[in-house]
Amino acid sequence: MSARPLRLTIAGLVLAPLLVLSLVFGIMLIIGIATGQITVVSPAQLTISAILIYAATLLVLGWTGSSNVRELEALGTLDALTRLPNRSALHVDIERSSQGRDEVAIALIDLDSFKQVNDHYGHVVGDQLIQQCANLLREVCGVEARCYRLGGDEFAAVMAGQAAGTILEGMCRTLIDRLREPLDVGERSISVGASIGLARSTAEVRLCSSEMLRRADVAMYMSKRGGKMRCTWFSESFDRRRERMRAIEDEIREGIAAGEFGLAYQPLVNAVGGRIVAVEALLRWQRRDGKMIGPNVFIPVAEDSGLINTLGLLALRRAVEDAGRWGITLSVNISAAQLRNPEFPIQLGEVLEETGFPAELLELEVTETCLVLDPVVAERALDVIRSFGVRIVLDDFGTGYASIGFLRRFRFEKLKLDRSLVMLAGEDDGSRAMMLSSIAMARALNMSVTAEGVETSEQADMVRAAGCDQIQGWLYYKAMGAQEVDRLIAAQNAPVLPANVTPLMQGKNAGT
Ligand code: C2E
Ligand code: MG
Ligand code: MG
């Protein structure tokens, strides 16, 4: 883009004097002829000179004009930042390559965490990183595949020929491997990943360019969902899955409006003594047709569609309203999308203020994936949340890759050992050692520990001996309605407690 104004300036510099000269020359000619002063040079000669100057002007105008048109044409198919062909060029190329019997393959490449780079280092660095990635892509594609920038942090590569798909997939894997090393941007080293979707069209099943792009996009999305830094080939089943998700999304929207969502509460007990010290709020969806849908089905859809912001706020408000009368700690689960939503800390503050629920009795449970997706934004949100006095709990610990550095960075007040870790620890020595070291690490970092999913008294004895502070699991209580918690808390607070409070409600609250 930077060459254009310069060229116009040069053109202007050439054109302006020429035009002025021809004008002056023309006027002098007319005056000279009219007054009879032109004698040395014949009028015919002067006329020819004027016509020549006029023709030269026209030529210069024509040259700069057409060169600008050529440039504009190129700009229409070229990305200004990377000088890679753009989306329009990609469509033209795919249509052209699809004329014969060649296989045509497309890879859609979306950078992971690019938004954070922009947020963190600013757009100038972001642009430099895009240029670096474009160069890397050019290098990986070589002369065999053509690469494009589709916009933002989205690139594509197209290849035609025998086994084009296989070769292109190989290139994509190389690209992902190369991106495992940070890229040098100025004095910085920046890590960025890529999620890639692949689609192909063959002579037997010929697809138009927009359908190929759509399929690659769907596959790319599956790479993102699958954990990023991977390539995925499009499959028809992805479309069916998307349709199902969209249908559930509509039902969730209707369900929210019809008040079909409610909460169940699962008590957490003190590891020593078995007293109920907290409850975890768990969303439940009782549809009009009577069907009960579990959170594992609707939460992922709500997260994808952004509906989790509404649902999560609904859960938070309802939970603090209910738990206000229990006087024990309340745990509420929070999704990544909520943490990314800049409105969330404000809404939380409003809910606390309106309900008068004591912030020090509220814990928010977040998962590791929720934080690694956008650590900078998450950290900022957690700081605001903590400033209210609300504690942060790392949920499902043991299912991800949380390092000591990660735990130190987010300074969780509490760690919840996942059910899978508890189960395995009861079965083999290796997992048991892992659980013990996790507890020791949490202790060293001043975090309290809850064991989740405790179903047997052997597991309870094990986690208690290992040093867990609290236990949550069906051995003690299943999730239950608010009225049942009312009764349990009333019984617990009654002057004379039943002799043995644990295990109390085993199996009684199934289905809530
Ligand atoms: P989670 O936060 O790890 O919640 C614990 C899950 O384990 C709950 O399942 C609970 O019923 C189940 N559970 C507890 N003890 C036992 C046990 O001894 N054995 C077995 N087999 N399961 C046990 P639930 O209610 O189906 O929730 C599943 C997940 O859905 C939750 O996992 C949480 O990640 C998500 N979720 C639930 N409510 C909300 C919410 O309000 N907001 C968000 N963002 N996520 C929620
Ligand atoms: Mg939880
Ligand atoms: Mg959990």
Task: Please indicate, yes or no, if residue 359 is contained in any of the structural domains.
Answer: yes
Q: Sort residue 168 into left (φ over 0), alpha (ψ -120 to 50) or beta.
A: alpha
- Ligand 1 pocket, residue 396 CB under 6 Å: yes
Task: Please indicate, yes or no, if residue 407 is contained in any of the structural domains.
Answer: yes
- Ligand 1 pocket, residue 195 CB under 6 Å: no
Are 321 and 374 contained in the same domain?
Answer: yes
Distance CA 310, CA 303 (A): 10
Residue 192's SS3 state is: coil
- Report the separation in Å between the CA atom of 462 and the middle of ligand 3, taken as the mean of its atom positions: 19
Task: Please indicate, yes or no, if residue 105 is contained in any of the structural domains.
Answer: yes
Are 305 and 436 contained in the same domain?
Answer: yes
- Ligand 1 pocket, residue 266 CB under 6 Å: yes
H/E stretch holding 126 reads helix 123-141
If one counts the domains in the chain, the total is 3
pTM comes to 0.73
Are 308 and 412 contained in the same domain?
Answer: yes
Are 363 and 474 contained in the same domain?
Answer: yes
Are 44 and 187 contained in the same domain?
Answer: no
Beta partners for residue 333, in sequence order:
365
Q: CATH number for the domain including 438?
A: 3.20.20.450
Choose one of 48, 75, 102: the last residue of a domain.
Answer: 75
- Ligand 1 pocket, residue 426 CB under 6 Å: no
Q: CATH number for the domain including 110?
A: 3.30.70.270
Task: Please indicate, yes or no, if residue 131 is contained in any of the structural domains.
Answer: yes
Task: Please indicate, yes or no, if residue 1 is contained in any of the structural domains.
Answer: no
Using a CB cutoff of 5 Å, list residues around ligand 3, an ion. Answer: 395-396, 452
- Report the separation in Å between the CA atom of 474 and the middle of ligand 3, taken as the mean of its atom positions: 13
- Ligand 1 pocket, residue 479 CB under 6 Å: yes
Q: From residue 440, how far is each of 453, 462, 465 by CA, in Å?
A: 20, 14, 12
Are 204 and 258 contained in the same domain?
Answer: no
Are 363 and 385 contained in the same domain?
Answer: yes
Task: Please indicate, yes or no, if residue 504 is contained in any of the structural domains.
Answer: no
- Report the separation in Å between the CA atom of 360 and the middle of ligand 3, taken as the mean of its atom positions: 21
Are 139 and 225 contained in the same domain?
Answer: yes
H-assigned helices in 324-374 = 336-340, 344-355, 368-372
Task: Please indicate, yes or no, if residue 327 is contained in any of the structural domains.
Answer: yes
- Ligand 1 pocket, residue 473 CB under 6 Å: yes
Task: Please indicate, yes or no, if residue 125 is contained in any of the structural domains.
Answer: yes
Q: Note down the domain range covering 53.
A: 10-75
Beta carbons within 10 angstroms of residue 442's beta carbon: 23
Per-residue pLDDT of the chain (512 residues; tens, 9 = 90+): 333 334 444 555 566 666 666 667 667 767 776 777 766 667 677 677 777 777 776 676 666 655 555 555 566 899 999 999 999 999 999 999 999 999 999 999 999 989 888 888 899 999 999 999 999 999 999 999 999 999 999 999 999 999 999 999 999 999 999 999 999 988 889 989 999 999 999 999 999 999 999 999 999 999 998 888 999 999 999 999 989 999 999 999 999 999 999 999 999 999 999 999 999 999 999 999 999 999 999 999 999 899 999 999 999 999 999 999 999 999 999 998 899 899 999 999 999 999 999 999 999 999 988 887 778 888 999 999 999 999 999 999 988 777 888 888 899 999 999 999 999 999 999 999 989 999 999 999 999 999 999 999 999 999 999 999 999 999 999 999 999 999 999 999 987 655 565 555 444 444 44
